[in-house]
Amino acid sequence: MSLISTLKDQTSRTRSLAKAFTWRITATLTTAMIAYIVTGELGTAAIIGGIEFVLKFIMYYGHERAWNAVR
């Protein structure tokens, strides 16, 4: 099965990973910008964004897989 067909399959693990990754990039950039505005420190904003990316990536993937199990 090609990557494109796998990504189109609503229940594939690859699709869930791709969705989690692309959403985390968008959301993490937003979080890092907010952290920078609040703290005024680029390093602190990057640390907050990095931690948030990893934790929420794992949580989103699990959430997506749980919803795929509901039929």
Per the structure, the count of domains in the chain is 1
Q: Does a structural domain hold residue 1?
A: no
Rounded to an integer, what distance in angstroms lies between the CA atom of residue 54 and that of residue 60? 10
Whether 2 is in a domain gets the answer no
Q: Is 50 part of any domain?
A: yes
pLDDT of the chain, 71 residues: tens digit per residue: 676 776 677 777 888 888 888 888 999 999 999 999 999 999 999 999 999 999 988 998 888 888 888 86
Domain boundaries, position 35: 13-69
In a domain, 3, yes or no: no
Is residue 35 within 8 Å of 49, Cβ to Cβ? yes
Which 3 state secondary structure label does DSSP give 14? helix
**Overall residue count recorded for the chain in this entry:** 71
Residue 63 lies in a domain: yes
Is the pTM here over 0.75, yes or no? no
Residue 45 lies in a domain: yes
